[in-house]
Structure formats: structure tokens, C-alpha cells
Chains A and B, each alone.
Chain A
Amino acid sequence: MIKLESVKKLFQTKDGPVHAVDDVNIEIEKGEIFGIIGYSGAGKSTLIRMLNMLERPTSGTITVAGKNLSNLSERELRKERQRISMIFQHFNLLWSRTVRENISFPLEIAGVPKEERKRRVDELIQLVGLEGRGESYPAQLSGGQKQRVGIARALANNPEVLLCDEATSALDPKTTDSILNLLVEINKKLGLTIVLITHEMHVIRKICHRVAVMESGKVAEIGPVLEVFKTPKAAITKEFVKQVTEPEETIDTLNHLLEQNPSSHIVQLTFVGTKAEQPLITEVIKQFDVSVNILQGKMSQTQNGQYGTLFIQLDGREQSLKEAIRFLNEQQVQVEVISHA
């Protein structure tokens, strides 16, 4: 559906050239929810803006729905942009228009007749759950409602691709979840390909099928979300994975526990997919002469399966501890023995 081949973007600044995007190769399947994560300045924003040519690549080719965007004339590009819509961090609604008129805006641009526009707007308002708010102005809506208008507007011309530029970054956690659920629903219902950029791993975990991690203009790692969570390779990926698996204060607590009881072992278990459902801890206690203290656990649902982490403290004789850890290792669960962090 979308294919990026050695895409580069160079910005000339007063301090010399900056490689915002540096030799990126990504292929995105039809109907996929593809996430791009990175810190600010990683080039993800430039990258997504190149997918509808708001930003032109310095070199490389970008193909969307079989068309090489760089080769299109202005006129063809405008036509193509109606098939690649976008939602934004700050919604970018027209304050002078009501909800209805905002949703109708892309239809007016596409030259859809008035009757047809009215019918379509009604459908869209229902799809995004904004019944009864049609005559409100954006200033009267909450952030979440504004983004719903943004989504309805983006879907108006039945696009094939939806680009989400930090679409939930300005929203509170609860609203973020409801918007993400709406995106998943739309993805399933309409078979829409969604590309989103974010700096929150939580967003990737919750809705993406595959993820690319970006750092200083390059793709540091790319793969199915579950894979990346299970075995993050690049240092930056590990940082992002930690965002969702261990809260900041965990490390401090673990250090404190190890100081109190130096003979014990603290083990981090990472369960992926069906493994998350095994009664593993019970087995360890039954088979080995160790005591198990559960410190922290967390289960997360991703688009292709469950994902969980569990921190436990094992105490007992050195020999039993070794055997227990060996047993855990054999269970196809990621095991990491944590020493002083």
C-alpha cells in the first residue's frame, strides 16, 4: 500500500544541513495499522508529512496506492490527497465552521453536490459518535470531541490511507484510549490503512500491528509490535518498551529490596502470547524449595496478542534458586535476572 525507498530529507539551516530523514525504507501493507515511534526531532513528523507530500523528499521514492507521489503534477497530487487523509495533534479545525460544516469541508473541496454532502455528513457524525453536536462550533467542544470531528473530516472522502500526526498527544489518557478505540474500529470496519506517529509506546502497544522505531532520521528497528516488545534490539527500543512495562519508581524499589536481602534474586519474566496464561509461578513453588514474592506485574493487550511482565523475588538456598531459574528459562518465557541497577 505504502512503500518508501531510500527516502531522504535534507533541511538547510543556518548551522548547516540537517538530515531529518536519512535513508528510510519501509513497506506498509493494506489494512495495517503501522506505528512510527521516536522522540521529538527523530524525523517521524517529517516522514509522515512526506506521505502526502506536505513535505517533499530530497531523494528516494514514495509510492502510495500504486502511485509514485514525486512524479505527480500539482493537479494529480491534489486528487491523490483526497485518498490520503490526515488528522493532527492540534485538530486543525476551522473555528468559523460548525461541526457539520467542518466535516463537509473536504467534500466541498472534492466538489460533492450539496444533497450528497448532507447525507455523508450525517453518516460520519454517527460513525464517530457526535450525534447532536452537529451545530456546535469547535470552541464549544472538548479535545476528544474535536479529534472526533477531525477523524470524521478525514474519512469524508473515503480515503484509503489515514495519517495520524501525533493525533492523541494533546489528549488526556482516558480520551486517548477512546480515540484509539475509534481508530481500531474504523480500521476494522473500513479496511483503512493507518499510519501513525507518536512518542508514546502505550499508543503503539494498544493499536499498532507493526512498529518502526526512529532515531536521528533513521529507522533503528522495525517489526511486529509483539516481537519488538518481546525482544527489543536497539537501545532506543528498549527505552520505549520500558515506558509501558516498568514505571520509573520500579527500579528504585528493586534496588532497595536487593540491598535489604542480598542473597535473594529478582527476576523479570516477560510473557508473550499464550504463555501469558500458564500457571508458571505455581509450578516453581511446587517443584523447588524457594519462596516467591510477587513484586509487580502487568498485563497488556496488543493487536496481536497478550503481553505481560512480572517482577518476582526468589529466595532460598543457592542451589534451589539456580534450578528454579533454569526451569523458568526452559519455559519459553523471557527471563532476566536483575542485579543492582
Chain B
Amino acid sequence: MLNTVFPNVEWGAFKDATIETLYMTGVSVLFTFILGLMLGLALFLTNRGNQWENKFFNMIIAAVVNVFRSVPFIILIILLIPFTTFLFSSMLGANGALPALIIGAAPFYARMVEIAFREVDKGVIEAAKSMGATNFQIIFKVLIPESLPALISGITVTAIALVGYTAMAGVVGAGGLGNLAYIWGYQRDQNDVTFVATVAILIIVFIIQFIGDLITKRIDKR
């Protein structure tokens, strides 16, 4: 039945492509979360009136974040080719897409992290200080737990953007559903392949959004 509606889709290749997309998204989301959290934390803490207030460092981090956030993703991949080949000795395949995905998304997420931290009630941070909390304790016991819903919904948005990025990376040889749609769908003029790849990506996006919303709702006790 499926083969009559989508005559050109090779289901084995489709399955591999889906797994590649999931792999690229999963790994890049994980590293984006860690890197973005650290960058966002650094942005927040070095800002005026906060624990590690430092105009110079704040400016440097903000500049780095802004530059990488502004470079179009497709150009970032090309710019990072030397770095990627150094890491994985090839820029092809799913791993080849990871550096660009992470470096492209982490600064984006870092800004969201910074905003999330800024929304944390200043009074609560002050209360923690008045109890003699160290900066380390304030970060892990106040800042992160109190901004967790925003951090989760932020990583959900970023993860969805990353699914889009993986499709773009696919075009330059990273594999995945984007690659499938481009090589088999577009270049061979097989619209049914493009259609199936699109539907698969949409389903992945919906699932990510659903999980993100569910977790956010669960942990928000306000």
C-alpha cells in the first residue's frame, strides 16, 4: 500500500536517515544545553550588579555570542570545515555536522539562559545571600532551580531550531532526512520522497514540543 502511494521511497534508507537526524539532534541538543548554560551563566554573572560583575569579560562573551549567533548557519558549516576535519578527520556524516550545530545553537540558547536567570526574583537571591550562601550555592540551589521552566522551554525552542539546522547540514553531506529530501527528492525529482522526509521532520518537531511543554508544566509550581 505504502509503496503504491510513495513509489520512490526506499524505507531502509528512510529509516537510516531518520536515525541520523535523531542522532544529530539529540547529541547537539545535549551539548548545546551544557555549553549554552555555561555561556548564559557567564553572561548573567558578569553583568552589572551581579556576583562576578566584570565589564570587560561581559563584553567579550557578549561579542562572541553575538558573532556566532549572527553568522548564517550554512556559512558557519563552511567556516568550520577545518575545525571539523581536525576533530573527526572528515566533515561528512552525522558527526561532521555536530560542531557547526553546537556552535551555531549554543550562543542562541545562551541568550535565552541569560534572560531566564534575569527573571529570577532578585529578592530570593538576596535572601540566599543573607543566609550566607556561596556563589556556587546560589547558582545551583537558586538560579537554576528557580529558572528551570524557562530553561526547559528555551531548550525546546532551540531543539526545534536544531532539527531545521540538521536538515540544512544534510545538504552538505551530513546525512539525515534533509540529505534524503535533497539528494533523492529534489535532485532526482521524486516529490514523494521529499514529502515523506518533511512529514518525518514535522513529527519529530511535534514530539519535541510536546515533551518540552509537558516537562515545563510539570515542574512549574508558581
B123 CB-CB contact with A under 8 Å: yes
Stretch among A35-43, A91-99, A229-237, A247-255 lining the B interface: A91-99
- Nearest-neighbour CB distance to chain B for A69, whole angstroms, equals 13
In the bound complex, CA of A276 to CA of B192 (Å): 96
Q: A95-B221, A96-B221 are in contact. Are A81 and B131 (CB under 8 A)?
A: yes
Inter-subunit contact B146/A54 (CB<8 Å) = no
Chain B 113-149 residues near chain A, CB threshold 8 A: 121, 123-124, 126-134, 137, 141-142, 145-146, 148
Residue of A nearest to B137 (CB): A109
Judging by beta carbons under 8 Å apart, are A106 and B123 in contact?
no
Q: Are B131 and A106 in contact (CB under 8 A)?
A: yes
In the complex, B55 has a CB within 8 A of chain A:
no
What would 5 A/B residue contacts be, using CB atoms closer than 8 Å?
A78-B134, A92-B123, A106-B131, A109-B132, A109-B134
Q: Find A54's partner among B121, B129, B145 (CB 8 Å cutoff).
A: B129
Return chain B residues, CB-CB under 8 Å to A138: 221
- Give the B interface residue count (CB, 8 A): 21
B123 with A94: CB separation less than 8 A: no
Q: Does B123 lie within 8 Å of A90, measured CB to CB?
A: yes
* A52 B130 Cβ-Cβ under 8 A: yes
Which of B130, B146, B222 is within 8 Å of A86, CB to CB? B130
Within 8 A of A (CB), among B75-108: none
Chain A: minimal CB distance from B142 (Å):
7
**Chain B residues near A78 (CB-CB < 8 A):** 132-134
The answer on a CB contact under 8 Å between A105 and B131 is yes
Q: Complex: how many Å from CA A105 to CA B125?
A: 12
**Chain A residues with Cβ under 8 A from B131's Cβ?**
81-82, 85, 105-106, 109, 153, 157
Contact partners of A81 in chain B: CB under 8 A: 129-132
Are B145 and A97 neighbours in the complex by a CB distance under 8 Å?
yes
Using A90-B123, A92-B124 as known contacts, say yes or no to A137 and B132 having CB atoms under 8 A apart. no
CA A52 to CA B128, docked complex, whole Å: 12
Total inter-chain residue pairs, C-beta < 8 Å: 67
The 5 closest A-B pairs by CB, nearest first: A81-B132, A78-B132, A92-B127, A92-B123, A137-B221
Residues on B with C-beta less than 8 A from A86 are 127, 130
Q: How far is the CB of A178 from chain B (nearest CB, A)?
A: 22
Which of B128, B133, B134, B146 contacts A95 (CB under 8 A)?
Answer: B146
User: Which residues of chain B are within 8 angstroms of A110 by Cβ–Cβ distance?
Assistant: 132
Known: A78-B133, A109-B133, A110-B132. A95 touches B127 (CB 8 A): no
Q: Contacts A78-B132, A81-B130 hold; do A88 and B123 have CB atoms under 8 A apart? A: yes
| Chain B proximity mask over A129-160: 1 for CB below 8 Å, otherwise 0 | 00000000111000000000000010001000
Measured in the bound complex, the distance between the Cα atoms of B131 and A84 in whole Å is: 8
B130→A54 contact, CB < 8 A = yes
- Chain A residues with CB below 8 A from B134, complex form: 78, 109
Minimum C-beta distance from A110 to chain B (A): 7
Given the interface contacts A94-B142, A108-B141, A139-B222, does A88 sit within 8 Å of B127 by beta carbon?
yes
Measured CB to CB, the closest approach of chain B to A41, in angstroms, equals: 19
Residues of B within 8 A of A139 (CB): 221-222
Report the nearest A residue to B144, measured CB to CB.
A96
The answer to whether residues A92 and B126 also contact, given A108-B141, A137-B221, A139-B221 and a CB cut-off of 8 A, is yes
